[in-house]
Amino acid sequence: MYKINYPVIDLHAHLRNDIPFHTKIAKESGIDVVVYMANCSPSLDNLRRIKKSLKEKRYCKAIPVSAITKGLRGKELVEIDKIKPYVAGFSDDGKYLKDLGLLKEILMRKILVLVHCSPSYEIGVKNPNLETEFVERYLNFLDKNKKNIKGWLHIQHVSKKESVKLIKEAKKKGIDLSCETCPHYFTYSKDDLDTKVNPPLGTKEDIIAIREGLADGTIDVIASDYAPLPRKTGIAGFRSFLSLSYGLVLEGVLTEKQLKEKIYLNPKKIIKSGGYKLRI
């Protein structure tokens, strides 16, 4: 059906506690590099655990991300400088980091920080606008602290129309950041599927806005947010990643060249922004 002649990078995946099993699925799905989040159990919040994780067998290239705070609790930073050479970046994915003081402290270094701007699923379903509020808070923070920031901020899994709008305006204003969305957010609305995924699925208008954001460059990356059990998020998968993403080309939303930017060139740039030496 389609031929992809470049390495595919998935900037957001969860490998839980079984790196061989999940990277095998990634490989079978046509993904060459996965960047995996720190919220396995116990979380990747110290060098010993990260080194141990790096020793596990993998079927494709798999680069860890360290937690920003110990136990992803949002209180105390991990040993950033020690950990930095071993990871693509830092993220408390799964949790929104409320403490802007900690965010500032970590972004004063030349590192990549990937941020989860949504509340828990249960709260997000009732308050779909919270994602946008969290995004806005970070955008204002970036605007105010421009001079002190050496790192790069990347907003994960953008899913709502208003968030896309704010990020578009921020980029126009010259605020440096990048963001991603996931195939389920440009494919399914909450009326199409009754499934638990965080952030929760949006409306038809959200889908249109996400597609427009991808097409006009507001959204830089498509990532899977592959999240196998224990969470019941069967739609956030490796297996559907390339077919749903390529669907945007077939539908005329993206050109082949733009798709290459979203699943290879931009993720590569973002991984390298913090100094990680990615050889592919």
Selecting among 10, 93, 220, 225, the annotated active-site residue is 225
For residue 273, give Cα distances in angstroms to 95, 146, 151, 155.
23, 16, 8, 14
Q: Determine the interface stretch with Zn ion among 1-9, 93-101, 180-188, 242-250 (rule: CB under 5 A).
A: 93-101
Please give the Cα distance from 202 to 206 (Å, whole number): 6
Tokens standing for residue 202: 């949006």
Q: Which C-beta is closer to Zn ion: that of 5 or that of 41? A: 41
List, as own/partner pairs, every contact residues 164-167 make where C-beta atoms lie below 8 angstroms and the sequence separation is at least 24, other chains included.
Answer: 164/209, 164/210, 164/212, 164/213, 164/218, 164/219, 165/209, 166/132, 166/135, 166/136, 166/139, 167/135, 167/139, 167/213, 167/218, 167/219
Which is nearer to Zn ion, 95 or 161 (by Cβ)?
95
Active site residue 225: yes
Task: Give the binding range for Zn ion (CB under 5 A) out of 20-28, 89-97, 104-112, 267-275.
Answer: 89-97
Residue nearest Zn ion, CB atom distance: 116
Q: Find out whether 91 and 114 touch, Cβ atoms under 8 Å.
A: yes
Nearer to Zn ion, 93 or 131 (CB): 93
Nearer to Zn ion, 164 or 254 (CB): 164
- Our finding on whether 220 is near Zn ion (CB under 5 A) is no
Least Cβ distance, residue 156 to Zn ion (angstroms): 5
Among 16, 58, 61, 116, binds Zn ion (CB under 5 A): 116
Distance CA 233, CA 39 (A): 15
Query: What is the β-pairing status of strands 221-222 and 61-66?
Result: unpaired
Among 45, 93, 180, 220, the residue binding Zn ion under the rule CB under 5 A is 93
> What are the CA-CA distances from residue 274 to residues 40, 91, 112, 129, 233 (Å)?
23, 13, 5, 30, 30
Shortest distance, CB of residue 180 to Zn ion, whole angstroms?
Answer: 10
Nearer to Zn ion, 49 or 116 (CB): 116
Residues that bind Zn ion (rule: CB under 5 A) add up to a total of: 2
Is residue 10 close enough to count as binding Zn ion by CB under 5 A?
Answer: no
Of 26-34, 82-90, 110-118, 270-278, the window that binds Zn ion (rule: CB under 5 A) is: 110-118
| Candidate segments 44-52, 73-81, 91-99, 208-216, binder of Zn ion by CB under 5 A | 91-99
DSSP codes, 179-214: EEE-HHHHH--TTT-----SSPP--HHHHHHHHHHH
Catalytic residues: 225
Residues in contact with Zn ion by CB under 5 A are 93, 116
